[in-house]
A = this chain, B = another copy of it.
């Protein structure tokens, strides 16, 4: 039996980039970028008017002139007025390019207007603005042409989509979605739509894994196989060849019906470990097939399956979407504060379901669930993560800060 740290290392060692595909930008929402995207122009690309009002020359105003003849009007999207008079003004709208020779914008709220007998409009400035450049978003003040804006490995969330659009990245190279086969096993399981006999229950783990894989950005297909070596020998090879990973639930404990590890090895899946010093999920079996799928064979208890998916499978899915060699940032556990003391005697890592709440002082508070053992699926409903209690300690007093893996 190996430690959680060693299991994590052995799982990570099987990560390989899953490939790249080119997508039209709107279709790439949520994907991981596989190319560096740089600014094609300065940000902003011109001296951009930031308020509706008039554009003028600050020096003229500072020298004492308060009223300005309006010689032109310029909307956003129009080429800038050329050769404006240094003593007159251009009425101008937000988003327009500031005309060459003018440097300051006074917004409507700080102006009064009059029309003279000849029908010409004049604006009077109420107060001297604090500096030249007022209400102008200066060219290149945010980013410069050539700056790296979106490095490979970035997830294309809404802000990144906006930036990619602005620099004209109409087609982008992104990670292919991982393809996952989730497989439920167990002869006691009947389909969701059937009425189970007294000693049966309905299938739930495969659907749970499928939904979790979807949330992690993977494609996932769901299967159920009977606990029959002949069936498994016949059905598993297609999954091992056609998917990046196969996640099995059930069939790996010490029981007589648990022949899965043996069959997987027959089918060319090399065992990397079997048994991890953790609860829940001690019988976890992991292997990899050369040029084919990795196999996460998780114990069949719902809580065990669930926790081990988030602890091992999800990080593997995320890492495989990164460009070669890049580390995943921004995922993984965060620190949380224990609100109740916990005793856990066995010298193994304990994954403890907790509800999470932000305290009034900004601390993330973790309250252990009344847990009915690793079979208590309903306890997942009121939890939003699990603490990882290290194997070295047995007593965790109130206030202990521990890493929490969030699943909501």
Contacts and interface: CB of A to CB of B under 8 A. Distances in A.
Interface of A: 25-26, 29-30, 41, 43-46, 48, 50-52, 73, 75-80, 91, 93-97, 107-109, 137, 141-143, 149-150, 156-163, 165-170, 186-189, 192-205, 207-212, 214-215, 222, 227, 250, 253-258, 300-302, 306, 330, 334-337, 358-365, 372-381, 383, 401, 407-408
B360 A401 contact: yes
Contacts of A362: 335-337, 363-365, 401
A211 B29 contact: yes
Contacts of A73: 256
Given A211-B157, A363-B363, A204 B358 contact: no
A225 to B, nearest CB: 13
Contacts of A45: 196, 198, 201
A227 B75 contact: yes
Given A300-B94, A372-B137, A159 B208 contact: yes
A143 B77 contact: no
B79 A199 contact: yes
Contact of A43 (B46, B374, B377): B377
Q: How many copies does the complex hold?
A: 2
Contacts of A158: 208-209, 211-212, 215, 306, 407
A167 B378 CA distance: 11
A77 B199 contact: yes
B306 A159 contact: yes
Nearest to A214: B29
Contacts of A211: 26, 29-30, 156-158, 161
Contacts of A93: 255-257
Given A109-B254, A202-B165, A208-B161, A375 B50 contact: yes
Contacts of A200: 77
Given A96-B199, A161-B211, A337-B362, A52 B253 contact: yes
A169 B161 CA distance: 37
A377 B162 contact: yes
Contacts of A302: 162
B25 A165 contact: no
Contact of A165 (B30, B109, B208, B306): B208
A77 B189 contact: yes
Nearest to A302: B162
Identify the 7 closest CB pairs spanning chains A and B, nearest first.
A77-B187, A77-B188, A159-B380, A52-B255, A162-B208, A97-B199, A165-B204
A406 to B, nearest CB: 11
A215 to B, nearest CB: 7
B199 A143 contact: no
A168 B202 contact: yes
Nearest to A360: B335
Given A50-B373, A362-B363, A199 B255 contact: no
A384 to B, nearest CB: 8
Contacts of A253: 51-52, 94
Given A94-B255, A256-B91, A401 B361 contact: yes
A376 B80 CA distance: 22
Count chain B CB atoms within 10 A of each CB in A73, A167, A227, A363 and give the residue with the most: A363
A361 B361 CA distance: 11
B192 A168 contact: yes
Contacts of A94: 253, 255, 300-301
A199 B337 contact: no
Given A168-B202, A201-B166, A358-B364, A161 B378 contact: no
A248 to B, nearest CB: 15
Contacts of A377: 43, 142, 159, 162-163, 166
Given A52-B256, A408-B157, A78 B199 contact: yes
Given A158-B211, A161-B208, 9 more contacts: A45-B198, A76-B187, A79-B199, A93-B256, A95-B188, A142-B375, A143-B378, A150-B381, A166-B201
